[in-house]
Amino acid sequence: MEHFLANLGTGFAVALTPANLGFALTGALIGTLIGVLPGIGPIATIAMLLPLTFHLEPVSGLIMLAGIFYGAQYGGSTSAILVNLPGETSSVVTCIDGHQMARNGRAGAALATAALASFFAGTVATAMIAMLAPPLALVGQSFGAPEYFALMLLGLIAAVVLAHGSVVKAIAMIVLGLLLGLVGTDGQTAAQRFTFDFVKLSDGIEFSVLAIGVFGVGEIIANLTRGGQSRSLLAKRITRLMPTRDEISLAWPAALRGTALGALLGVLPGGGATLSSFGAYVMEKKVARDPSRFGKGAIEGVAGPEAANNAGAQTSFIPMLTLGLPGNAVMALMIGAMMIHGIQPGPQVMTERPTLFWGMVASMWIGNLMLLVINLPLIGIWVQLLKVPYRFLYLAVLLFCAIGVYTISNSTFAVILAAMFGVLGYIFVRLDCEPAPMILGFVLGPLMEDNLRRAMRISGGDPMIFVNRPIALGLLIAAAILLVIVALPSIRSGRERAFQEG
Amino acid sequence: MKRTGWIIAALSCFALGAAASSGSWAQDKFPVKPVKIVVPYGPGGATDIVTRIVAEQMRQSLGQSFVVENKPGAFGIVAIQEMTNARPDGYTLMVGNVSTNAITPVIVPKRLKVNYARDVVPVTNLIDIPAFLVVATNNFAVKDVPGLIAYAKKNPGKLRYGTVGAASYPHYDMAFFAKRAGNLDVVPIHNKQGASGIINDMVTGDVQVAFLNVASTAAQIRAGKLRPIAVVSPTRLPDHPDVPTMKEVGFGDVGTIAWNAMFAPAATPRPVLEALHRAAVAALETGAGKTALTKQGFIIAPSKSLDDARTWLANEIKAWKTITSAVKIETE
Amino acid sequence: MTTDGPPSAQEHPLLHMFRRKNVLSGLMFIAIAAFGLWVSRNYPIGTTLRMGTGYVPRLLCWLLMGLGAIVLVQGVLETEPPRPPRERSPDDDELAKLRPVVAVTVSLIAFALALETLGLVLSILVLVAIARFATRELKASETLAAAVGLSVLTWAIFIAGLGLPIPLWPDW
């Protein structure tokens, strides 16, 4: 423990120099901006800024790049809550209840909850990195193809819970998402599936194009059809900006649960982080006393996923810091930034470069604190934005969607695709088909197929590989239990309805 | 409503006029406006980073910005077509790698809407990336290439190797190796996450062997989780003097030294190509550019001249024609 | 279950059925599945042990078709709670609702087609000029103000701020 405090002391001594505080602030500000904007994400931003960091001290450069990464996680939820526009994979879930809260006049409370839950999660996850990084890294290394397949299957079953309407419709939407995920080149045979001879479709549909189209553009169309657009987005008057006492008492346990789940999933390099916010939402809905509030502006539906998302973002540094293995594209860039300075990321960094390692850990917490300091005062401004008459706001959101989609891969084809998905999203709104399960099916489908095929190759075609590996077996059993929990209420209600009609 | 239409139309005309008057009129001096470099991958990958480092140095020497534009998709087809469709004036270039600019034209020529050999010329090679043939140490006792071959012969269908996807160069390399070593029965395990994903598979013990670039493996080799048994490079590496080259172990033509090179539309005027070649080569040799590249494990490898670059690319394409016809990648 | 809009007195019952959300959802899923099956008609299916390119797509399409059928049947069978008759509001005018759908979609497509040849500023004008027809409430002067304001704002954020490689003006 003494050792630990001494290390942390070293870290804060590095992170608290005025220059490094400045870099953390710059990174957090840039990150917030690109997070709020749809499309352009932290990967592109960090890649563009990377050459700048060559001239900086290694630790300063890394502090700034890390600031961009978690700043983007904060910013992503802002546009999700305000205009139903998910900037990142993780903020799709925040759209469900966060935007609903905004419509109820509680945008301020939703934004504050997101910021506070993220800060809390960031603090806990940073402490976990400081104390438990090496053992947590081992968790990541025990995950192979069969384990990932089992985890994804669990996630897919959980997707049913995301919807608050008909279960059959939710399953149909998941299947639709799986089908959309198939678009592109078949990994095994290199044959083209559903690409209609468009070269631009041969790598599949980009996640952000689908999400911005279905959620962002679809929402614009839906709002415009509702009539009376001269009034602002708000159905009700904005009440106080901060969460009420009741809301806080609902939100904090949710943030706690979300943090635990997110921190664990973040350690997994193969797409575990994608699941964290979805998983947290499902968990909240299942433990809630009254699940029917979800989808109508439940504050736990914001607090849980936001905490999970930020905790996962934080712990995704663990494989990179302790093993030199990047869990995602942002971490790969961070490794590049280290290598330029002649630092070989890996198990040795902790012992050979203690100032770098602990300086970064300390700066993570400082960065999170800065984000809170930046974001809480901004809430007032963001909420004012909602008072802009919708006839102006929709033009701005539409334009930002268009530019955002274009910048993902500099493709005008993507903008046209997003327009199509916008119409689809509007149809979904009209028909009460909820898009969140579809998005999860779309994200998980290809990962599942890939890991299933890999697992079968590794075992030489023997399905016993899922039984012989304890973690995979455990996850599959959990999936089976969840399936029963999900199916039971609808079976029961189905029987009741049958009795009524009989 | 009508009036707005007119105002917008008038504004558009004004804008068009302004743009037209500032068009390119100075042809003799190059470059007079920003140059676009198309990259066939999203931001953040190795090709993107190399391009950004080179672009920054070229900006400093030529006084115009070199804008990196990521056009990912379809094994480089999107980017190649983007470049060849642009005016061949030297203001649209491409930086690609062995996959996009040597393997794609060989294995999917029909999906390219251009004639690669006729429409694309190399400006210069930029960097080479040496690779190791590495084996896992987790539950795997092989320590050298003969040992690996012996193991594969004794355990047909049991030796699993890592690749980054069907028909990727690590896939071809190992399949070619297996064929040359006596039609070994080995199983490819694809991991779309690239080198880090393969390394994870090797540490968990799901994969035993792979061709991986030297830089990605360094940390795990030091930690004893991976063991290099041969290096794909003309000479042994100074940092690993005890690791033999592929040639020394009898497989001189197996394994890919991955590269990044700069390309231009073939109809670009020769003086412009010469200017670009000089500037790109100079960018690699500047202090800042060289440090940034070599620190990340890349080897500076510029072509000596435009013609040298052309010969080199022709040889690369020929080599890949040989490999891809020798090993038919099983497309189940 | 939910229904969309009140039934009007003179409407035929069968026609009215097609206003139910579940009936329409079911039909949508079935239509998408049928389209998927048609597109994948030539994909090799293979066997369960050695799946071909078409195996998973066709399996999912059939699954979607089945689920769509269930939703459709649920929609047809659902009993509606009696609703008090009310005045037709503008919200019920389906034709008027097509207006934003078309304007928003066309504006995005036009923006996409314009961007790489006309540059960012003119494309913004195009987008605003078309998207304004999505609502009747934008005055002419407001449209122009919005176009100019958005051009400046996007330039400041994306070009000056983030340095994205988007051409600002046509490249002539």
Please name the residues in contact with A337: beta carbons below 8 A apart, sequence gap of 6 or more: A50, A53, A58, A61, A62, A65
- Mean local confidence (pLDDT), A274-288: 86
DSSP reduced 3-state for B186: strand
C115 falls within a domain: yes
pLDDT band for position A209 (cuts 50, 70, 90): very high
pLDDT of residue A352: 78
C150 falls within a domain: yes
What's the count of helices (H) and strands (E) in chain A, helices before strands? Answer: 23, 2
CB–CB contact C63 A176 (8 Å): no
Q: Which of residues 219-248 of B touch A (CB under 8 A)?
A: 219-220, 222-223
- Mean local confidence (pLDDT), A397-414: 90
Q: Which of A339-348, B219-228, C97-106 has the highest mean pLDDT?
A: C97-106
Does the pLDDT of residue A493 top 80, yes or no?
no
CB–CB contact B12 C125 (8 Å): yes
Buried b (16+ CB within 10 A) or exposed e, A211-232: bbbbbbbbbbbbbbbebebeeb
Name the domain count of chain C. Answer: 2
Count other C-beta atoms under 10 Å from residue A369's C-beta.
15
User: B111 contacts in A (CB within 8 Å)?
Assistant: 199
pLDDT of residue B27: 47
d(CA B98, CA B294): 19
Smallest CA-to-CA distance from C163 within A26, A30, A330, B78 is with A30
- Mean local confidence (pLDDT), A470-493: 82
Residue with the larger pLDDT of the pair A164 and B288: B288
pLDDT of residue A45: 85
pLDDT band for position A500 (cuts 50, 70, 90): very low
Q: Which of residues 196-235 of A touch B (CB under 8 A)?
A: 199-200, 202-203
CA–centroid distance for B215 within its chain: 15
CB–CB contact C122 B12 (8 Å): yes
pLDDT band for position B118 (cuts 50, 70, 90): confident
- Mean local confidence (pLDDT), A324-350: 77
CB–CB contact B206 A51 (8 Å): no
Residue with the larger pLDDT of the pair B329 and A73: A73
Smallest CA-to-CA distance from A468 within B206, B159, B156, B192 is with B206
pLDDT of residue A189: 66
Does the pLDDT of residue C12 top 70, yes or no?
no
In this structure, the dihedral spanned by the alpha carbons of residues A345, A349, A355 and A356, taken in order and rounded to 10 degrees, is 10
pLDDT of residue C13: 65
Does the pLDDT of residue B331 top 70, yes or no?
no
CA distances from C88 to C7, C9, C91, C136 (A): 10, 11, 8, 20
User: B8 contacts in C (CB within 8 Å)?
Assistant: 125, 129, 144, 147
Predicted confidence (pLDDT) per residue in A97-138, tens digit: 999 998 888 899 999 999 999 999 999 999 888 888 777 777
The residues pairing with B158 across neighbouring beta strands, listed in sequence order, are none
Give B59→chain C minimum CA distance, Å.
Answer: 15
B159-163/B209-213 β-pairing: parallel
CB–CB contact A43 B44 (8 Å): yes
Q: How many residues does chain C have?
A: 172
- Same domain for C33 and C62: yes
Q: What token pair was written down for B278?
A: 């000089």
Does the pLDDT of residue A341 top 80, yes or no?
no
Please report the number of interchain residue pairs, chain A to chain B, with beta-carbon separation below 8 angstroms.
Answer: 145
pLDDT of residue A272: 63
CB–CB contact B206 A141 (8 Å): no
C168 falls within a domain: no
H or E stretch covering B125: strand B120-129
H or E stretch covering A184: strand A184-185
Phi, then psi, of B35 in degrees rounded to 5:
-105, 140
The whole-chain average pLDDT of chain A stands at 84
Predicted confidence (pLDDT) per residue in A433-477, tens digit: 989 889 889 988 888 888 888 888 888 888 888 999 999 999 999
d(CA B189, CA B207): 7
End-to-end CA distance of chain A: 68
Query: How would you classify residue B270: left for phi > 0, otherwise alpha for psi between -120 and 50, otherwise beta?
Result: alpha
pLDDT of residue C1: 42
Given C56, C72, C91, the domain boundary residue is: C91
Return the residue in C135, C136, C139 with the most chain A beta carbons within 10 A, the one to mutate for interface testing. Answer: C135
CA distances from B146 to B151, B188, B237, B248, B250 (A): 9, 20, 21, 12, 10
Q: What token pair was written down for A428?
A: 């979904």
CB–CB contact A326 B81 (8 Å): no
CB A444 within 8 A of CB A150: no
DSSP reduced 3-state for B67: strand
CA–centroid distance for C154 within its chain: 25
The whole-chain average pLDDT of chain B stands at 84
- Mean local confidence (pLDDT), C46-50: 68
Smallest CA-to-CA distance from A209 within B84, C58, B73 is with B73
CB A265 within 8 A of CB A272: yes
Does the pLDDT of residue A411 top 70, yes or no?
yes
User: A404 contacts in C (CB within 8 Å)?
Assistant: none
Q: Which of residues 140-169 of C touch B (CB under 8 A)?
A: 140-141, 143-144, 147, 165, 169
pLDDT band for position B247 (cuts 50, 70, 90): very high
User: C40 contacts in A (CB within 8 Å)?
Assistant: 193-194
pLDDT of residue C49: 62
Does the pLDDT of residue A26 top 70, yes or no?
yes
Return the residue in B57, B206, B217 with the most chain A beta carbons within 10 A, the one to mutate for interface testing. Answer: B206
Return the residue in C120, C136, C171 with the most chain B beta carbons within 10 A, the one to mutate for interface testing. Answer: C171
CB B256 within 8 A of CB B169: yes
Phi, then psi, of B26 in degrees rounded to 5:
-90, 105
d(CA A493, CA A18): 62
Does the pLDDT of residue B291 top 70, yes or no?
yes
CB C167 within 8 A of CB B15: no
Does the pLDDT of residue B146 top 70, yes or no?
yes
Q: Which of A392-396, B57-61, B248-252, C110-114 has the highest mean pLDDT?
A: C110-114
- Same domain for C122 and C67: no
Residue with the larger pLDDT of the pair B31 and C27: C27
pLDDT band for position A163 (cuts 50, 70, 90): confident
- Same domain for C113 and C77: no
Residue range(s) defining the domain that contains residue C119? 94-161
Residue type, C161: G
Q: What token pair was written down for B294?
A: 């070599």
Residue with the larger pLDDT of the pair B19 and A20: A20
Proportion of chain A above pLDDT 70, given as a percent: 92
d(CA A62, CA A27): 10
pLDDT band for position B2 (cuts 50, 70, 90): very low
- Mean local confidence (pLDDT), A201-224: 90
> Quick check: A460 contacting B, CB < 8 Å?
yes
d(CA A295, CA B161): 47
C72 falls within a domain: yes
Predicted confidence (pLDDT) per residue in A289-312, tens digit: 888 888 888 999 999 999 999 998
CB–CB contact B56 A51 (8 Å): yes
CB A201 within 8 A of CB A183: yes
Predicted confidence (pLDDT) per residue in A237-271, tens digit: 666 778 888 888 889 999 999 999 999 888 886 66
CB–CB contact A324 B220 (8 Å): yes
Does the pLDDT of residue B20 top 50, yes or no?
no
Give the nearest chain C residue to B13 (CA atoms).
C122
- Mean local confidence (pLDDT), C131-159: 90
Please report the number of interchain residue pairs, chain A to chain C, with beta-carbon separation below 8 angstroms.
Answer: 167
CB–CB contact A340 B296 (8 Å): yes
CB B153 within 8 A of CB B145: no
Q: What token pair was written down for A30?
A: 């840039």
Give the nearest chain B residue to A139 (CA atoms).
B204
pLDDT band for position C131 (cuts 50, 70, 90): very high
In three-state form (DSSP H/G/I as H, E/B as E, the rest C), the secondary structure along A59-121 is HHHHHHHHHHHHHHHHHHHHHHHHHCCCCCCCHHHHHHHHHHHHHCCCHHHHHHHHHHHHHHH
Q: Among partner residues A225, A431, A433, which is closest to C100 by beta-carbon distance?
A: A225
Give B74→chain A minimum CA distance, Å.
Answer: 6
Answer whether CATH 2.40.50.140 is correct for domain B29-127+258-326.
no
Q: What token pair was written down for A176?
A: 């639709």
Please report the number of interchain residue pairs, chain B to chain C, with beta-carbon separation below 8 angstroms.
Answer: 38
CATH of domain B131-232: 3.40.190.10
Q: Among partner residues C125, C169, C170, which is closest to B8 by beta-carbon distance?
A: C125
CB–CB contact C113 A412 (8 Å): yes
Q: What token pair was written down for C71?
A: 């939703």
Least confident of A166-175, A451-460, B89-98: A451-460
Phi, then psi, of B254 in degrees rounded to 5:
-105, 140
Give C112→chain B minimum CA distance, Å.
Answer: 16
Instruction: Tell me the ipTM for this assembly.
Output: 0.87
C124 falls within a domain: yes
CA distances from C42 to A69, A93, A193, C39, C62 (A): 44, 37, 11, 8, 16
CB B269 within 8 A of CB B301: no
Give B134→chain A minimum CA distance, Å.
Answer: 16
Does the pLDDT of residue C63 top 80, yes or no?
yes
Does the pLDDT of residue C147 top 60, yes or no?
yes
Give the nearest chain A residue to B203 (CA atoms).
A141
C30 falls within a domain: yes
d(CA A69, CA A332): 12
CB A289 within 8 A of CB A52: no
Q: Hey, which chains touch B, using 3+ CB pairs under 8 Å?
A: A, C
Give A345→chain B minimum CA distance, Å.
Answer: 7
Predicted confidence (pLDDT) per residue in A55-72, tens digit: 788 888 888 888 898 888
d(CA C91, CA C87): 11
Least confident of A278-282, A456-460, C168-172: C168-172
- Mean local confidence (pLDDT), A30-47: 84
Q: What token pair was written down for B208?
A: 């035993």
d(CA B43, CA A332): 11
C5 falls within a domain: no
Structural domain spans, chain B: 29-127+258-326, 131-232
